[in-house]
Structure 1
């Protein structure tokens, strides 16, 4: 019988890797960066490399020693659907305290709200914010979303070409988000520059500098909304109260900061990968163009096959999992890049099924911390496909000579020119 090294050629982490805690078995410290969504590839199916970490010969839990989930340290990793579900749903064992706490790099102590708050307090903040993100709220915002998307498409529809990643996908979701929050569009480039450095810059000081820059801006923005309230979400938070008690300064900046961090690039990255797939599969274009009733289920399938974020949680107490001793204070990261393709949950997981039913993927996380903006993201993508096929009823393709490399995570494709015969 083939050994695990032969069936699953995953190397142990090398000498250049950060050290693992003493209680971690050395044979479980593995280099799975290829499956973490951070290694570029030019595959038609960019998430294929993660298949190997679900092989029956691969350990159900292993240790990834590099910084992950916005932290400065490594984490245990689970790769199968049911294990991922457990991490998202077992709030008695797994905590979201400290998740995406980039603000700590600048010496800040406020939490990211609501993600960084555990139940039951988490529910208070979700209840406060939810009215802005319900399906009913999206129905009210849809005309404005259509206006933004339709107006942008009309600018290039007759030209027969657009850089769908840089000139469109990078821009329209941010326009929608800035409009929702009340941020001025003049901050567009500066926002994206700060976010890039926070999420992708390796030098800690550059990350910290970007955090300091955006937090200084956000505190000024909050002060402006408190002095002159309006009907935007930014003003709602800046002047908000829960159960009759005004929000504290930490609560206001914690919510405003977290929404800023999460509102800029998830839809942009999804759009870029979505159009890459469509451009490579003319038959899929024709299928959706010919049957608009597929748009909702197709959007879920695009989301499932493009998991952008691998989330993390902190362990609350010692326990044993898959024969491994996990300690309180350890971190566990879920590889959604793997779990979304688990054939125990999804039939033919690498087959793009635009009509797939019961598509319970983890791209938007799970449990009580499921993405606050999930309905907004879905609505933006559905409106985009509807408006696109209405306004550009032509088959499109990737422009000849284009580099189609993908980093299968956030900000994954910087440029993707597509062309069509108008």
Structure 2
């Protein structure tokens, strides 16, 4: 009988990998970096390499020894849809304490709120913030979102070209977020520099440097809003209270910091990959251009086929899962990069279907910790497609010779120049 190591279609982690904890079976320490969304490729379907981690011979749970999910250590990994759903929904077994706790690198002890808070306290913070992120709130904000997007498109529509990733996708979601929070637009470039260092620079000293700077800025911002309140979300947090009790300093910075961290990158990366697909598939452009009633379901399909973040949770107690002993304090990461393409959940998962129904993907996580800004992200993308195909009713393509390499994660695409013929019929 062949061993798991012989059957598994993925190699074991090499000698250069960090050591795994003693209770982890060596044959489950696998090199799945290619499926973690950190290895660039130039495929038409950038997430297709992840299919192998759902192979029948691939273990239902394995150990990834490299730092992942914002931690400085490895984690158990699940790759199937049903297992990922358990990680997100079983709050008795999996904790979000310590998730996205980059600030700990700089010696900070406050949690990232609300993501880093477990139920029932998590619900108090969501209730406090939810009024700013409901569909009704988005209806009120949509005219401003439309104004920002439409104004930016008009600046290049007649030129017949734009770097959709760097000059547009990188900018408009951040403008919307700064507008929502009340941050000055003059901080745009500095914010993106800080965020890149925190999320993507492997050098710990650079992460700490950026963390120290941004947290000092955010604490100053909170103090300014306490002295001079206004109608923006940042002021609401700085002067906020829950059940009549004013927020503590740690709660104020924990909420403001987490919104800052989550508000700068995700929609930008989504836009870059979305337009890459459009540019490679003119028939898809034509279909949306001619039938805008498909925009809502198409946006959901773009989200499903572009899972940017693999989220982690901390194990609360010892338990056995798929024949493997998991210990309290271990971390489990959900490879959304795989689960969103699980054929047990999605028929023809690599087929982009703008009319797909029951599209319950994990791009925005799941359970009680589903992304707070989900409605905002969806509204931005829907308005973008509506405005784009109204203001640029021409077929567009990637500029000849341009690099279409993508990192299937938040790093995504730095530059993607697209062109169109303004004189087209």
Give the TM bin, normalised by the shorter chain.
over 0.9
1:61 aligns with 2:61: yes
Q: Which blocks of at least 5 consecutive residues in structure 1 are unaligned?
A: none
TM score, norm. by length of structure 2:
0.98
Q: How far did 1:8 drift?
A: 4.9
Paired with 1:385 and 1:220, the residues of 2 have a C-alpha distance of 37
CA distance in 2, matches of 1:4, 1:352: 34
- Residues 180-329 of structure 1 aligned to structure 2 (within 5 Å): 180-329=180-329
Which deviations, in whole Å up to 9, do the C-alpha atoms of 1:131-158 show, x marking residues without a partner? Answer: 0000000000000000000000000000
CA shift digits 1:183-209 (9 cap, x unpaired): 000000000000000001001111111
Following the alignment from structure 1 to structure 2, what is the Cα–Cα distance between the partners of residues 361 and 176?
25
CA distance in 2, matches of 1:268, 1:13: 33
Equivalents in 2 of 1:151, 1:353: separation in Å? Answer: 30
Q: 2:368 aligned with 1:368, yes or no?
A: yes
Counterpart in 2 of 1:166? 166
Give 1:411 deviation, angstroms.
Answer: 2.8
2:50 corresponds in structure 1 to 50
* Conserved 8 A contact 2:309-2:409: yes
Give deviations 1:327-357, integer Å, cap 9, x for gaps: 0000000000000000000000000000000
Whole-Å separation in 1 of the counterparts to 2:100 and 2:31: 22
Residue 11 of structure 1, CA deviation: 1.1
Q: How far is 1:55 from its partner? A: 0.7
Deviation at 1:10, TM superposition (A): 1.2
Matched, 1:11 2:22: no
Say whether 1:340 aligns with 2:340. yes
Q: What SS does the aligned partner of 2:14 have?
A: coil
- Find the counterpart in structure 1 of residue 149 from structure 2: 149
**What CA deviation, in whole Å up to 9, does each residue of 1:57-98 have, x standing for no partner?**
100000000011111100000000000000000000000000
Post-superposition Cα deviations, 1:365-421, rounded to whole Å, max 9, x if no partner, equal 000000000000000000000000000000000000101000000031000000000
Question: Residue 7 of structure 1: CA displacement?
Answer: 6.7
1:242-279 deviation per Cα after TM superposition (whole angstroms, max 9, x unaligned): 00000000000000000000000100000000000000
- Report the secondary structure of 1:333's partner residue: strand
Q: Which TM-score applies when normalising by structure 1?
A: 0.99
Q: Distance in 2 between matches of 1:338 and 1:4?
A: 21
Aligned partners of 1:12, 1:174: CA distance in 2, in Å? 40
Gaps of 5+ in 2: none
Contact 1:8 1:53 survives alignment (8 Å)? no
* Aligned mates of 1:62, 1:8 — CA distance in 2: 11
Is contact 2:9–2:55 with CA below 8 Å preserved after alignment? Answer: no
SS of alignment partner, residue 51 of structure 1: helix
Distance 1:303 1:187, change over 3 A: same
Shift of 1:2: 9.2
Indicate conservation of the 8 Å contact 1:225/1:238, yes or no: yes
Deviation at 1:232, TM superposition (A): 0.3
Assess if the C-alpha contact under 8 Å between 1:8 and 1:52 holds in 2.
Answer: no
Report if the CA contact (8 A) 2:69-2:100 is conserved: yes
Shift of 1:9: 3.3
Alpha-carbon distance in structure 2 between the residues aligned to 1:24 and 1:3: 17
SS of residue paired to 2:215:
helix
Could you tell me whether the CA contact under 8 Å between 1:132 and 1:233 is conserved in 2?
A: yes
1:115 maps to which residue?
115
Q: Is 1:81 equivalent to 2:81 in the alignment?
A: yes
**Which aligned segments of 4 or more residues in structure 1 are displaced greater than 6 angstroms?**
1-7
Q: Distance in 1 between matches of 2:6 and 2:155?
A: 53
Deviation of 1:6 after TM superposition, in Å, equals 7.2
SS of equivalent to 1:400: coil
Write the distance in 1 (CA, Å) between the matches of 2:379 and 2:130. Answer: 15
